Amino acid sequence: MNADKRRLTTKRCSDICVHLRSSAVAFVLLFVLAAPLFCQQREYKLNPQDRERAIKFSRIKYTMHFVDEIWGLAILLGVLGFGLSARTRSLAESATQRWWVQGLIFAPLLTLLTDLPTLPNEVYLQHLERVYGQSVQGWGAWSWDQAKGEFLSILFGTVFALILFGLIRWSPRRWWIWCWLASLPLIAFLVFITPVVIDPMFHKFTPLNVKHPEVVAAVQKVTRRGGLDIPVDRMFEMDASEDVTSLNAYVTGFGATKRVVVWDTTIARCTLPDLMFTFGHEQGHYVLHHIPKTMAFLAVLLFVALYVGFRGMAWLIEDYGGRWGVRGQSDWAALPVLLLLMSAFGFIGEPVTSAWSRHQEHEADIYGLEVIHGLVPNSQTVAADSFQLLGEVALADPDPPPFIEFWLYDHPSIGERVRFAQSYHPWDEGKSPEFVK
């Protein structure tokens, strides 16, 4: 949902979640096929006007996603092809002999060179979010958020570039392994500090029990049912309503900073049973260790990406180094070559990360359904209603093309989730629930 620079590392419910599509889909299919035999199914439905808007809005967003990806690759190719990378490197070299001071000049300039051309896309997306009632953020506040995001991008980009080039210079043939090893504690550290350092740069967080003790009381029924003790001081309300209309809640952080965050928009729009289900879903991410699992999954992908980067860089520099003015892997001008390879890898790997995310989201849905069963009347209907509301507010696509779902969807589609909620009832079938016994 709400994509922005804060994506960096945090696994938020919306953009986390990457999954084994086949098992999730098999699950859903099984229930979808069997369910009509037993009960009257309700579908995710929008009124005709909203339906038309939802389809139009999603189709533009899908197109923009691919445009952005390809544009990102084109920018890196352009920076290399027009010799901008080589010129920026020469500028840094003319200023100082020290490689790391050169990096302090080169990396921020490269970040600006590659980020600025994406600004029109960002502006257009924000315009779209406003037109379709998803964003209520003014252009001033939006620009300020962009500026902060760019600052973080320069800061982290420069730190990573210095570590990378230090390792390339130190170990020209094994740097990609060292770089991978060095990135593991760094990623863990970023996930750790994000909720306490980065997130508060963009939003205000209030302990949930300050304004909504009734929500805490409802939520505690859910935590107790799950045999879990999420301390009250780990539950926060986020002031999303200043910026967006969409509903969300997520689990973030790691170790001592792990917490559950509920957007104020969600609290305002949902009934207490809806909130209990939403919270139950988030608790599922928490209990099922989705953050550490995803960190491990991303570490594996990063290992492959760095190896591809190492091999691909050698190959590209040999063939195109002369034309691009890149002298070798340890040349600062080679940084966009590595970024190009890693971006291409990330683009091609999108269906894999989406599938991973969908799988975790589906597990969290199962957990949410199980944990509120017996706590609220008609728990399956409550869950289906929550999804319906989520879809209405977000103008979720009622009929996503299968290719788009496969490639991009980090959650099962709302239609699938509504159907699944109504058809999942192991208790009535004499089966054991999967997660909450």
* Interface with Zn ion (CB under 5 A): 13, 361, 364
Of 132 and 387, which has the nearer Cβ to Zn ion? Answer: 387
Of 212 and 358, which has the nearer Cβ to Zn ion? Answer: 358
Of 235 and 364, which has the nearer Cβ to Zn ion? Answer: 364
CA 392 and chain centroid, separation? 21
Task: Supply the minimum distance, in Å, between the C-beta of residue 261 and Zn ion.
Answer: 12
* Nearest residue to Zn ion on Cβ basis: 13
CB 5 within 8 A of CB 152: yes
Task: Supply the minimum distance, in Å, between the C-beta of residue 109 and Zn ion.
Answer: 38
Task: Supply the minimum distance, in Å, between the C-beta of residue 228 and Zn ion.
Answer: 16
Of 333 and 382, which has the nearer Cβ to Zn ion? Answer: 382
- Sheet hosting strand 205-207, strand order edge to edge: 205-207, 235-238, 259-263, 249-252
In b/e form, how buried is each residue of 150-170, taking b as 16+ CB within 10 angstroms? bebbbebbbeebebbbbbbee
Q: Tell me which residue has tokens 């991008």.
A: 153
Cα distance between residue 411 and residue 353, in whole Å: 11
Task: Supply the minimum distance, in Å, between the C-beta of residue 207 and Zn ion.
Answer: 22
CB 253 within 8 A of CB 192: yes
Task: Supply the minimum distance, in Å, between the C-beta of residue 310 and Zn ion.
Answer: 34
Of 250 and 332, which has the nearer Cβ to Zn ion? Answer: 250
Pairing of strands 259-263, 249-252: antiparallel
Of 276 and 333, which has the nearer Cβ to Zn ion? Answer: 276
Task: Supply the minimum distance, in Å, between the C-beta of residue 361 and Zn ion.
Answer: 5
Task: Supply the minimum distance, in Å, between the C-beta of residue 409 and Zn ion.
Answer: 13
Of 13 and 369, which has the nearer Cβ to Zn ion? Answer: 13
